[in-house]
Structure 1
Amino acid sequence: MEGQFDYVIVGAGSAGSVLAARLTEDPNTRVLLLEAGGGADKFLIKMPLGMMKAMLKPELTWRMMTEPEPTLNNRRLFLPRGRLLGGSSSINGMVYMRGHSADYDRWAQKGCRGWSHSEVVPYFRRMERSWRGTENYGASGPLPVTKNNTEYLLHDELMQAVANAGLPVTEDIHAGAEEGASLVELTIDEKGRRASTYEAYLKPAMARPNLAVVTHALTRKVVVEDGRATGVEYEVDGEVRVAKAAREVILSGGSYNSPQLLMLSGIGPAEHLAEMGIPLVHNLPGVGRNLSEHPRVPLEFAANGPITFVNQLRFDRAARAVAQWYLFGTGPFARQLNSANPMLRTDPRLAQPDIQLFSNPVKLSAHLWFPGFVKSPEHAFSADVILLHPQARGWVSLKSADPHELPAIRLNLFDNEADFVTARAGLRLARKIYGTEPMAGLIERESIPGAEVQSDAAMDEHIRATAGTTQHPVGTCAMGTGPNAVVDPELRVHGLAGLRVIDASIMPDVPGGNTNGPTIMVAEKASDLIRGRSLPAVEKEAA
């Protein structure tokens, strides 16, 4: 099939795998899918708790780092992104959320017609195979959505503490008020295996004769002729090849790689491209701008005894848990570590939650141990505060015209007072929850940043010294109609024919929740946009 394609898709991640599978449902549509990484049929990827190691493996990730962050004491932040089939959906934490309904209505208000909540819900339903089995959720889609097994996670204690602190709890974060602490939902299948977009979408489609998948293929640039994208230039084993696209080239590299590839192709801010010595093909100043990411501020408590998930990491128990997962798809290694998923408002006057707590009965740095040989990790609770709607905006730019060199990234986290205000309020709210029974009775002390850190100035110092990310970057090829928009509401690159961007980079701002689910939704909806059709809108979800 080489050279004979209707669509060439760059990137087999959360969006690209979905697009390849959906477009090739038509046997007359020929698709080439290019992935810079390799396969995803690996033990650490399939076993859910393997995520703690998988995202640190150099062979599975793009090893990106930010530039020194001026508002975070000039620290450089680690930004691992999946470099394999399934992309970051093959190494992420598997948390499934749609995002708040107001997030999508805000997109529509910004001129992104067709992207309101009522118009995207049908695509969430189409992709879901939800454990809930209600009319609000999909029951037969390709993506399994299961509830977390909370044994060993002290879930009930945390939920009760939230309620006792006078804060909301909910059975379903996507229904009703869309706020409160809830059971976390996961993209894990019924056999206890990670449900990446590779497993759920791409792998079943790879037997189709009209789909070609090439791994270890680094795309160098989009080929543009007379104002139209006609194909891509890519490299495999040092050999440079060209693939032609009769209909469209689709970039699905994610919020860092997609703008990088546009700029390598001469599509982007004219002044920056001139600095890099890249001939200008199309001046598009918004490429690489508008980068938005959920900041994360750590908060930890030392447990008052050996009561946390560290007990399950004792070597003999861990070996048994791995065997249980492998044979039966059950046990403590077949799920996530999340105790619960609080989505809360720090101010009752707000229209929707502004923080999420990353609540775990263990540090993510915890390791296997065995008495007398390897010391046990500290028994601790983490309750990192995540800002759901940060004001900060960063950027992605080129370091050179070499496609092998990773881009320059600056997040600019906490470059404004509003985000500090939200983070401080979130830390105080998390302290309130963990200082309320029954959680209070399980805690010896606050270990990070420490109970003595109380003033705004001291909290700000803690934020600058420790804040990180949740690996939810969006916005660098933003959808819209203004001068800095990169794609239109049908995800076509402004001013060029035959070229779309379809991934998290098109989101005008970051949704209030984990972003893998929304990215898959974007690809589902885009596959219909490409084919000139759409699912009917849902006026209001049933309660």
Structure 2
Amino acid sequence: MVSEYDYVIVGAGSAGSVLAARLTEDPDVRVLLLEAGGGAEKAENFLIRMPLGFLKALLDPQYTWPMRTEPEPYCNNRVLPLPRGKMLGGSSSINGMVYMRGHSRDFDGWAQKGCRGWSHADVAPYFRKLERSWRGASDVHGGDGPLPIARNSDKNLLHYELMEAIERAGYPITEDIHSGNEEGASRVELTIDEKGRRASTYQTYLKPAMARPNLTVRTNALTHRITFEGKRATGVEVEVNGTIETITAKREVILSGGSYNSPQLLMLSGIGPAAHLREHGIDMVLDAPGVGRNLSEHPRVPLEFAANGKITFVNQLRFDRATLSVMRWYLFGSGPFSRQVNSANPMLRTDDRLDRPDIQLFANPVKIGSNLWFPGFRKEPPHVLSADVILLHPQSRGWVRLKSADPHDLPAIQFNLFDNEADCATARAGIRMARTIYATEPQASLVKQETLPGADCTSDDDLDAHIRATAGVTQHPVGTCAMGIASNSVVDPELRVIGIEGLRVVDASIMPDVPGANTNGPTIMIAEKASDIIRGRSLPADQTPKPEAA
């Protein structure tokens, strides 16, 4: 086995798979991609490839790392599950496949924080580069990129009733959330290919590149630490089948483990807050207080409404119908199991004075987690309409820390969700907005009554109690190796670890703030842009000003 490469990439997820594919376009570069999880045998499993299968795969320990938060102090000390993909493609192999970029002002905000080269004008060309949009190529969208972007279905999803109610309630409707008015309700777009299969970064980037002789991919390979000569990263120590190997990176080590594992590996390697490293007996290479800090997530607060009759997606979960749907998906790539259940994607402002949406409604014509059923054998689940309120720009910040110096131990994670009044106020406003929409025709005719938290839960105190008792997260962690020029920044705008040579971080952990969008698309964009930075090139920035919101 070769023990020296030009680049060693740790983590084959949403970012690492992209990096490996792009860097090995140069035949003179040798790349090793290390993945602690499983290989193609998992990434090709039908529950992973079939879009609706993610609802079962998401909490299955053979597909996901069983991460958990520490007790959340402002959410009644509850412990929240944090499943992460345990295979090639990482969490892009188990996520909900929703594709969004984020608001243009999100990226302009990064640039204003000193992240030069990361404004919307700078990143838009990389979004176009990665996209193979159903809309085709345009000034806004890419038409021939690796990642297929499909429209979600509207059949069996009560889509039009919800969209009409949103409009009648006085909120905007848009055909394209990424063009012109970046606000309102639109059809959900998904990373699903033309055959109705999940389009993870393994399928779209890594798998085609694995035939290249200059790319080596090793799975079930747990990286223990980065090796150094002084302040220069020289390689990694990795465990494969119980044996520790030392592998040399002639040019760079690149961490793409995500917002939990990248800071964990930095700290295990001696880069992190000095007192925390001493606590675990780790020799310090660099005192970097920002490592593991600034953890941000999109909190979600559930609302549920009992449906006015047997009208929800539960009808498609009857065992005989579901069996036919699986066969239809397998043979033709069509039918209700070839898409997602979330058809509309309202991005709304709770206050007209805001410059961008601060709330997303995760509106579904079924209660997530409903099981298959059949008359006489398994009880039919209740017909429920759900509408989680998601905070797009939360103020709360958390952390990732080591539980021990053992790389086999998962890290300690805490978000501090709703540790301030501003987030609680936004969530309360979002709940009230959702109630208005669901009380507006034609959506109102589909609703029998509100069941969670219940129509009698109206005061600020009662809503806060509901928030703290039920809030969760959307699995969009960012920020723990934040990019910037501040004293607590971990990487510079070229994603190099500040104070260390030959080491970069390329994944969602470098985002200084969470964008107002599902984060898989922005993470892929980061990897596309990073591969060009590493290769000493760049796509020209957009020159046309972004249209202002109406």
CA shift for structure 1 position 187:
0.2
* Structure 2 residue 534 is the aligned partner of structure 1 residue 502: no
Instruction: Name the structure 2 match of 1:538.
Output: 542
Supply the AA of the counterpart residue of 1:521: M
Amino acid in the other structure paired with 2:478? V
User: In structure 1, what is the equivalent of residue 31 of structure 2?
Assistant: 31
* 1:442 aligned onto 2:446: yes
- Superposition pairs for residues 63-462 of structure 1, below 5 Å? 63-135=66-138, 136-462=140-466
* Runs of 5+ unmatched residues, structure 2: none
Does the Cα contact within 8 Å between 1:158 and 1:339 map onto a contact in 2? no
The Cα of 1:409 is off from its aligned counterpart by 0.5
How has the CA–CA distance of structure 1 residues 258 and 542 changed in structure 2, closer, same or farther, with 3 Å as cutoff? closer
What do the CA deviations read for 1:224-280 (whole angstroms, capped 9, x no partner)?
Answer: 112100000000111001111000000000000000000000000001000011010
Q: Distance in 2 between matches of 1:539 and 1:435?
A: 44
Q: Is the 8 A contact 2:153 2:339 kept in 1?
A: yes
Identity of aligned residues (%): 73
> Amino acid of the residue matched to residue 420 of structure 2?
N
Q: CA deviation at 1:4?
A: 2.5
Counterpart mapping for 1:473-492 below 5 A: 473-492=477-496
Structure 2 counterpart of 1:286, one-letter code: G
Q: Deviations over 1:148-201 (max 9, x none)?
A: 011100111100000010110100001112000000000000000000000000
CA distance in 1, matches of 2:539, 2:424: 41
Q: Is the 8 A contact 2:272 2:289 kept in 1?
A: yes
Q: Distance in 1 between matches of 2:231 and 2:423?
A: 41
TM-fit CA distance, 1:540: 2.7
Instruction: Confirm or deny: 8 A CA contact 2:137 2:144 kept in the other structure.
Output: no
Using structure 2 for the length normalisation, give the TM-score.
0.98
Cα distance in 2, alignment partners of residues 83 and 285 from structure 1: 29
Q: In structure 1, what is the Cα distance between the partners aligned to 2:95 and 2:102?
A: 17
CA distance, structure 1, for counterparts of residue 376 and residue 532 of structure 2 = 59
Verify the 8 A CA contact 1:34 1:213 in the aligned structure 2.
yes
Q: Deviations over 1:284-313 (max 9, x none)?
A: 110000000000000010001010000000
Q: How far off is 1:542 after superposition?
A: 7.7
SS of aligned partner of 2:74: helix
Quote the offset at 1:541 in angstroms: 6.5
Range that drifts further, 49-58 or 104-113: 49-58
- Secondary structure at 1:277's aligned position in 2? coil
Measured in 2, the distance between the counterparts of 1:520 and 1:453 equals 41
Stretch deviating more after TM superposition (1-10 or 27-36): 1-10
- For the 8 Å contact 1:324–1:331, the answer to whether it is kept is yes
Taking the aligned partners of 1:216 and 1:119, their CA distance within structure 2 comes to 36
* Aligned pairs for 1:5-24 within 5 A: 5-24=5-24
Q: What is the aligned residue count?
A: 543
Question: Does the 8 Å CA contact 1:475/1:504 hold for their aligned counterparts?
Answer: yes
Q: Which residue of 2 aligns with 1:512?
A: 516
Deviation at 1:62, TM superposition (A): 1.2
Amino acid at match of 2:32: L
For 1:346 and 1:134, locate their aligned partners in 2 and report how far apart those are by CA, in whole Å: 33
Q: Calculate the TM-score normalised by the size of structure 1.
A: 0.99
Q: CA deviation at 1:539?
A: 2.2
SS at match of 1:72: coil
User: SS at the partner of 1:421?
Assistant: helix
C-alpha distance after superposition, 1:299-338 (max 9, x if no partner): 0100010100000000000000000000000000000000
> Does the 8 Å contact 1:145/1:188 carry over to 2?
yes
CA contact (8 A) 1:20 1:31 kept: yes
Q: Considering only aligned residues, what root-mean-square deviation do their CA atoms show, in Å?
A: 0.8
Conserved? CA contact 2:153–2:343, under 8 Å? no
Q: Which amino acid aligns with 1:395?
A: W
Q: What is the CA–CA distance in structure 1 between the aligned matches of 2:267 and 2:544, rounded to whole Å?
A: 41
Whole-angstrom CA distance in 2 between matches of 1:2 and 1:35: 17
Taking structure 1 as reference, are residues 59 and 448 closer, same or farther at Cα in structure 2, changes over 3 Å only?
same
Q: Which stretches of structure 1, 4 residues or more, deviate above 3 A after TM superposition?
A: none
CA contact (8 A) 1:158 1:439 kept: yes
SS for the counterpart of 1:124 is: helix
Q: 1:329 to 1:542 in 2, by over 3 A?
A: farther
Counterpart Cα distance in 2 of 1:190 and 1:300: 33
SS of structure 1 residue aligned to 2:367: coil
For residues 544 and 18 of structure 2, the distance between their equivalents in structure 1, rounded to whole angstroms, comes to: 26
| Separation in 2, partners of 1:64, 1:34 | 20
Distance in 1, matches of 2:344 and 2:322, equals 22
Shift of 1:134: 4.2
